[in-house]
Amino acid sequence: MAASIHPTAIVEPGAQLGAGCEIMAHAVVTKHCVLGERVVVHPFAVLGGDPQYLKFDHAAVTQVRIGAGTVIREHVTINRSIHPGKATIVGENGFFMAASHAAHDCEIGANVVLANAALLAGHVSVGDHTFLGGAAAVHQFCRIGEGVMVAGHAAITRDVPHFTMVAERDDVIGLNVVGLKRRGVARASIAELKAAFHDVYFTPGNIREVAAARLAAGAFESAEARRFLEFFAGGKRSFARARRAGAESEPGD
């Protein structure tokens, strides 16, 4: 099935469109883009534009790569990488609602939703099956894990571990249990996740060291609990922290 390009859309020579793509009126797909099959780009979206980086070399050969089945709504912007030979990456079946933005060198997993005006700064990574609420904003170099629910208007400046919910400014408010159940995660695995969450967040000490100790001890068997613990071994930023009822968040380690 051939791609469909509507009148007044701009698709620059060199852009690669997969079968069944639809580029609507007034959308812009630059020569730096590689779109998978069935990607839909709505009016006034701009894919593959130059990064908003003052030292960028405009002659650099960089890309934006969009996975199959992704829907890009009106006024979305996804910028190309700043590094020669590199790409800003969006996985399959994403949904970018109106006016959302992914800056240069973001790596966004599959089945990710950015609600209206959600904003990702440069070098942000987002795991599969994550939802970012309207007007949520994520600081550069942050990691947002798999299966995370980010509240609308949240300000994220720290790493957010897998399977959690986060709101306000880096406040982890619990596990995304509804999302886990919808994905068919077993009750036993969710129970282990709850125990791992409690251990990491409410055991005194350095959060990285606590997670590493629980992992090394083999305290949890489920893949989900182990993935949750493994998250704390990576990254360079501090971690969003959980609140006890009525208590303020502790500083990140």
Structure tokens at 16: 């690669």
| Catalytic entry in 32, 105, 109, 123 | 105
SS3 79: strand
171 is catalytic: no
Going along 36-151, which residue ranges are E strands?
40-41, 46-49, 63-66, 71-72, 77-79, 87-90, 95-96, 101-102, 107-108, 113-114, 119-120, 125-126, 131-132, 137-138, 143-144, 149-150
| Catalytic entry in 122, 133, 145, 147 | 122
26 is catalytic: no
| Catalytic entry in 32, 42, 75, 104 | 104
Strands of 101-102's sheet in order across: 10-11, 28-29, 46-49, 77-79, 101-102, 119-120, 137-138, 155-156
57 is catalytic: no
Residues annotated as catalytic (active site), given as ranges: 104-105, 122
